[in-house]
């Protein structure tokens, strides 16, 4: 079976621009759909242990659904993934006020973050020697957009391996003024393809996490040992999600940043998710220092998928590789500043397989 990239019209923006869905097929049973609006991944079909492919990400039926309010389903998130306290930060002595879209805070870049923007998409010439097919998504974020300084040129590449079942995301960005940047992807994964994720087993190789306040802003770092936040050994997500722990009550479940136990450079394991009944396994590797695990706490049943299924609490989970939340206001956290003549680059790899 050969790899391929197919296209179809997914809909039209209110101003008439055509939104195209690109479907990448690696010829091994892995298929990814993506559209211009928000760079959204509309579907990701992965084989189970019997070779049957199922969609493992939550998606919506039509472009009109994606143009309405939704919890960042499948989007590229930026300029700043996660939260910035008060929507304020100071860089090089200059104070900046951002759009507030999460109570008193800024979340995922504001009301019109990268997940709501129109991305130019073009296929990358096939590289048979590397065993890859890919598309490039490009967007230029204007100086002052949602309050962020600097014009930022962003390229995100989605690549499927044609020799193994893997999806890689490569981020690249440059700015003409000092700014802050934290890019990630907001897919809601469910390896079962339906129902809740609470029986799926999660591993996160992290001995520390970020406790949060009532606004879900980090309060520094804390050890996971002896808490429901210890996923260093594979654990069903639902096993401790309702435990009487203050941080679980504060977030309504898991919605926290884990600091990976990793070397400072190169790729490292961020998470491993297993669904024993189907046999599906997903490993997430990244160059980023942390991962935000969100257990779909705020899914309330108001959204439905292409087959009419209702997305309720725990219908999907997010594993957002990134820098720490609120880093511009927390000097002890790794810096997210980006300056002219620097290139931001980051890679996250999703590798799919099956249990023996």
Verify whether residue 72 is a known catalytic residue: no
**116: which 2 tokens?**
């709501």
Q: Which residues pair with 104 in a beta bridge?
A: none
Binding-site positions: 82-83, 186-188, 255
d(CA 295, CA 251): 10
What gap in Å lies between CA 232 and CA 250, rounded to an integer?
A: 22
Residues making up the binding site for beta-D-galactose: 82-83, 186-188, 255
213 in Cβ contact with 219 (< 8 Å): yes
In the set 70, 72, 185, 186, the catalytic residue is 186
Catalytic residue chosen out of the listed positions 37, 288, 320, 323? 320
Q: For this structure, is 194 an active site residue?
A: no
Query: Encoding tokens for residue 337?
Result: 């500043």
Task: For residue 191, give every residue at least 6 positions away whose Cβ sits within 8 Å of its Cβ, in sequence order, or none.
Answer: 46, 56, 197, 200, 273, 274, 275, 278, 280, 281, 282
Torsion over CA: 330, 334, 338, 339 (sign): positive
Q: What is the CA radius of gyration of the chain?
A: 19
Name the residue among 46, 79, 59 with its Cα closest to residue 10.
59
* CA–CA distances in Å: residue 270 to residues 15, 106, 225, 283, 293: 40, 25, 18, 8, 10
Positions annotated as catalytic residues are: 186, 320
């Amino acid at each position: 079976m050969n790899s391929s990239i197919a296209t179809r019209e997914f809909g039209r923006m209110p101003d008439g621009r055509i939104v195209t869905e690109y479907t990448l097929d690696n010829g091994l049973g892995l298929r990814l759909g993506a559209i211009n609006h928000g760079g959204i991944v509309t579907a990701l079909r992965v084989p189970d242990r019997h070779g049957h492919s199922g969609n493992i990400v939550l998606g919506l039926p039509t472009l009109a659904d994606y143009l309405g309010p939704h919890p960042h389903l499948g989007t590229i998130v930026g300029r700043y993934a996660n939260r910035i306290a008060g929507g304020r930060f100071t860089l090089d002595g200059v104070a900046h006020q951002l759009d507030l879209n999460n109570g008193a805070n800024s979340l995922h870049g504001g009301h019109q973050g990268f997940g709501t923007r129109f991305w130019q998409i073009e296929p990358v010439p096939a590289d048979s020697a590397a065993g890859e097919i890919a598309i490039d998504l490009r967007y230029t974020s204007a100086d002052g957009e949602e309050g962020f300084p600097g014009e930022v040129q962003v390229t995100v590449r989605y690549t499927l391996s044609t020799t193994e079942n893997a999806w890689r995301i490569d981020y690249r960005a440059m700015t003409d003024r000092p700014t802050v940047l934290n890019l990630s992807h907001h897919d809601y994964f469910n390896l079962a393809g339906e129902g809740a994720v609470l029986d799926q087993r999660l591993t996160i190789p992290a001995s520390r996490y970020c406790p949060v306040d009532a606004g879900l802003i980090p309060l520094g770092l804390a050890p996971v040992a002896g808490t429901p936040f210890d996923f260093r050994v594979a654990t069903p997500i639902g096993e401790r999600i309702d435990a009487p722990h203050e941080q679980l009550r504060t977030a309504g479940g898991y919605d926290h940043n884990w600091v990976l136990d990793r070397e400072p450079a190169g790729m490292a394991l961020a998470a491993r998710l297993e669904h024993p009944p189907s046999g599906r396994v997903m490993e997430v590797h990244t160059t980023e220092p942390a991962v935000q695990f969100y257990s779909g706490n705020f899914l309330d049943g108001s959204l439905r998928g292409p087959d009419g299924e209702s997305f309720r609490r725990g219908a999907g989970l997010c594993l957002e590789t990134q820098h720490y939340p609120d880093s511009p206001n927390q000097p002890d956290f790794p810096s997210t500043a980006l300056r002219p003549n620097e290139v931001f680059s980051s890679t996250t790899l999703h590798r799919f397989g099956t249990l023996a």
